[in-house]
Homo-oligomer: A and B are copies of this chain.
Amino acid sequence: MANGARDGRPTMVSLARDLGVSRQTISNVLNNPDIVNERTRARVLAAIEETGYRPSAIGRALRTQRSMTIGLRLYPAIDGINGAIMDRFTHSLTESAQLHGYRLTLLSAADAPTEVKSLEALHHVSAIDAAVLTDTFLDDPRPAALGARGLPFVAFGRPWGDPDAPHAWVDVDGRAGTLAATTYLRERGHTRIGFLGVDATGVSADRREGWAAGMAGSGVAGRDLQVLLAHDFARDGAEAAAVLRDRGATALVCASDSLALGAVGVFRNESADIPVIGFDDTPVASAVGISSVAQPVEAAAEQIIGILLGLLAGGPPRRVLLEPTLVLRNLEQFAS
């Protein structure tokens, strides 16, 4: 019954029965037509044409042990502003995968160990062939865990704290982005440029480094530079921005658009002429008119699928660091 025609749709079993040939013959007609004699081949092809039979994905998966499916954990949108970038990423990943006959299957997980367990369970039963990890963090246990389990994967995000990790990843050079932002402000005469970070590790630290590099030669250094750095304020950009302004910052570079939005809110209400540059070029930054560093999310998704297909074909774990772009908005008023 299980192998019979369901909903009137022909299966390989029903087709074989109707034609009085073996399933292997039908499979050969589709996959190795040269080894089937011409008359049988013509009969089977005619029946396939007539009945609308298509090889079942299940049957194909059973033969190839490939599900043509990639697992991806979808995170809840903790921060709706910066979450927009993952939305674009998921869409691009779907499109890139689809171009190569792959589909994305989504999973939700409460934490990294649960994510690993779920991916491993799906892989174990051949429901996914590979996985994409996102939101890598310092001492992230996932790459090693998946590697040990033999599940091919590419991480969107570097292995923070473990630059020599052997797995494949694609990331965007956040340091280069904040360096470009800081340099832009320096070139317009600013020396006391503040930095608003989320925390002191991983992505945020990388973006802070770009700011610090951009501040070299500004005359602001040591303790005086440290007071222009705020990274303990988490999501409250407004409070941190007010503190940095009181410490003499005349411009701000932020590790996220939500921080930048909070900062801009403070300055607009007070009519303080302090330029602010965010990160991620989110719809909010675009709508409110805040300059920001844009990640090439679509290119990252394409690279990830390309590397993943390479891994599935036995290729090496490639690593790619992409360049972000500085998107300027409403900064003319601050030009010196």
Stretch at the interface among A34-42, A51-59, A132-140, A204-212: A51-59
Residues of B within 8 A of A105 (CB): 69, 103-106
Residue of B69, B75, B87 near A77 (CB, 8 A) is B87
Stretch at the interface among A163-171, A284-292, A313-321: A284-292
Residues of B within 8 A of A65 (CB): 2, 6, 58
Pairwise interchain contact A67-B63, C-beta atoms closer than 8 A? no
Pairwise interchain contact A282-B3, C-beta atoms closer than 8 A? no
Interface residues as binary, A75-91 with B (CB distance below 8 Å gives 1, 0 otherwise):
11101110110111011
Q: Does A61 contact B (CB under 8 A)?
A: yes
Residue of B54, B61, B81, B107 near A287 (CB, 8 A) is B81
Q: Does A108 contact B (CB under 8 A)?
A: yes
Interface residues as binary, A115-130 with B (CB distance below 8 Å gives 1, 0 otherwise):
0000001101111000
Residues of B within 8 A of A80 (CB): 84, 87, 282-284, 286
Interface residue ranges of A239-294 to B (CB < 8 Å): 258, 261, 282-284, 286-288
Tell me the minimal C-beta distance from A97 to chain B in angstroms.
8
Pairwise interchain contact A106-B124, C-beta atoms closer than 8 A? no
14 new A-B pairs (CB below 8 Å) besides A56-B125, A77-B283, A283-B284? A57-B125, A57-B127, A58-B58, A58-B125, A60-B125, A76-B91, A77-B87, A77-B88, A79-B283, A80-B282, A90-B106, A104-B106, A105-B106, A106-B106
Identify the A interface with B (CB < 8 A): 2-3, 6-9, 54-65, 67, 69, 74-77, 79-81, 83-84, 86-88, 90-91, 94-95, 98, 103-108, 121-122, 124-127, 150, 258, 261, 282-284, 286-288
